[in-house]
Amino acid sequence: MEIKLSNLFKTKNTPVASAAGVAGVSTGADCPSSTPINIFASPTDRQEGETYVNFGKRACMYTTGNPSSLRAYLQRIYQSEKARQLHNTQLQEQQRREIEGRLNDVDISISNAKSRLNVVDIEIKDNDEKLNGLKSDIAELKIKEGQTNRMPLVKFYLGLLILAILTVYLFIFYSSTFYSAFIQGPSSVTDAMFNSQALPDAFSRGIMSGLFLITVPIIFLGLGYGLHYFMEQKSSSKYFKVGVLVIITFMFDCILAIKIAESLYNLIRANTWEDTAPFTISMAFADLNVWAVIFCGFIVYMIWAVVFDMTISAYDDCKSNRRQIASLSSKIQVLNSNKVALSQKAESINGEISQLVLKKEKLKAQLNQGIFSITLIRQAFAEFFSGWNSIIGAVGLATAPDCNQIYEIECKSFFGVQPEITE
């Protein structure tokens, strides 16, 4: 491949704006970009009007692509471009206005961050006051531990009275309904639910029948106690267990109600001359007597379970503040978690303020020490290396990989970033 040197050293890129004669570097501001470059000029200096691309070509040709020479050229370009910018009054003023604007933005950001920090500090203070108040309440409750609490005592005796009445009701109801469903069919739905002769008649039929009716209500009382027992547990599975118990009780009541309704239906059927269809489940759910039995049994059973739980809780609170202390302790846990979150938020804001203050100090240092644009220097680097690479590629020099490595090292050293190498 034939390369014409006259074509290699013609300017192609727009020269970087500059003041002539700084640090041995001259620019092409005073001559057209098409002006030919003197190949025999000093190889270490950029000619007046010469672009960095052509300067890179000429330097590479002179040094035959030596990587060490590339490092020296790049360092020289950095210093010369920096000096050029520092002596450029117009550029300095422009950069100063830009930095002053950035300083103003940083001041606003710091002010906003401090305002947010003040809000968080107030929230932390309020949270601490609530925590201290709850801790004082717990300490006061622990002092009163063992003293009789009048209100829980009243609740306990009232609950005990209601519980006793409901227990008698359930005993009568379930003994009567079981008698009507499994021993002797009822004559009416009222007789089925409240039969005064159920127990005497059952014992007249045998001791086992009588014991059966006496013990049957205990099944439902045990199911009610099971509801209280499972609700005392801490695991989330307690709701599943409670639901199973409620469903079992409801199914019990449904079976009793359907059996009683069937007995009443068959009684009516036996006393009529008309042909009637046999009793079915669909007929049962349409029968008001079925729902009367279910509600008189199941609803009262649920009320008994609730009252039993309230009575036991009131008994625990008569001479103990355990439940109140547990409630306050759970609130303290929430406030402690909130305190940790607020502290982390405050720490984050303080870190943000520290970064902003550091950024502000760096900007002030730039104002005091002189201002120069890294972007313009990186542009000069890129154009110079582009010209350098074009010669290496055209001539086929074996130093291309080493030059690429040197360029990357110098860019990272001066600018802190890895460059994009253009072939």
Q: What is the DSSP string of 160-186?
A: HHHHHHHHHHHHHHHHHHHHHHHTS--
What pLDDT, on a 0 to 100 scale, did the predictor assign at position 70?
A: 86
Does residue 100 sit in the same domain as residue 155? no
Does residue 174 sit in the same domain as residue 249? yes
Is residue 328 assigned to a domain? no
Burial of 325 (C-beta count, 10 Å sphere; 0-12/13-18/19+) = middle
What pLDDT, on a 0 to 100 scale, did the predictor assign at position 196?
A: 79
Is residue 78 assigned to a domain? yes
Our count of domains for the chain comes to: 2
Does residue 235 sit in the same domain as residue 198? yes
**Which of 120-129, 161-170, 266-275 shows the lowest mean pLDDT across its residues?**
266-275
CA distances for 44 relative to 8, 14, 59, 131, 401, angstroms: 17, 20, 7, 74, 23
Domain holding 372, by residue range, is: 1-144+336-423
What is the maximal distance between C-alpha atoms in the chain? 137
What pLDDT, on a 0 to 100 scale, did the predictor assign at position 23?
A: 31
Is residue 326 assigned to a domain? no
What pLDDT, on a 0 to 100 scale, did the predictor assign at position 2?
A: 39
Does residue 156 sit in the same domain as residue 140? no
Does residue 156 sit in the same domain as residue 302? yes
Is residue 86 assigned to a domain? yes
Does residue 188 sit in the same domain as residue 313? yes
| % residues pLDDT > 70 (the chain) | 81
Over residues 215-246, the pLDDT tens digits come to 888 888 888 888 888 887 777 888 888 888 88
Q: Greater confidence, 404 or 397?
A: 404
User: At which of 271, 291, 320 does a domain end?
Assistant: 320
- Is the confidence at residue 37, as pLDDT, over 60? no
Is residue 80 assigned to a domain? yes
Q: Which residues contact 61 (CB under 8 A, 6 or more apart)?
A: 5, 8, 391
**Interval 312-340 mean pLDDT:** 81
Residues forming a β-bridge with 316:
none
Is residue 8 assigned to a domain? yes
- Would you mind telling me the total number of residues written for the chain in this entry? 423
User: At which of 320, 345, 367 does a domain end?
Assistant: 320
What pLDDT, on a 0 to 100 scale, did the predictor assign at position 118?
A: 93
Over residues 92-112, the pLDDT tens digits come to 677 777 777 888 898 999 999
Q: CA 361 to CA 103: how far, in whole Å?
A: 9
Does residue 210 sit in the same domain as residue 264? yes
Does residue 293 sit in the same domain as residue 369? no
Does residue 98 sit in the same domain as residue 18? yes
Mean pLDDT (the chain) is 78
Is residue 327 assigned to a domain? no
DSSP state of 191: H
Does residue 400 sit in the same domain as residue 271? no
User: At which of 293, 320, 347 does a domain end?
Assistant: 320
Does residue 127 sit in the same domain as residue 260? no
Does residue 154 sit in the same domain as residue 297? yes
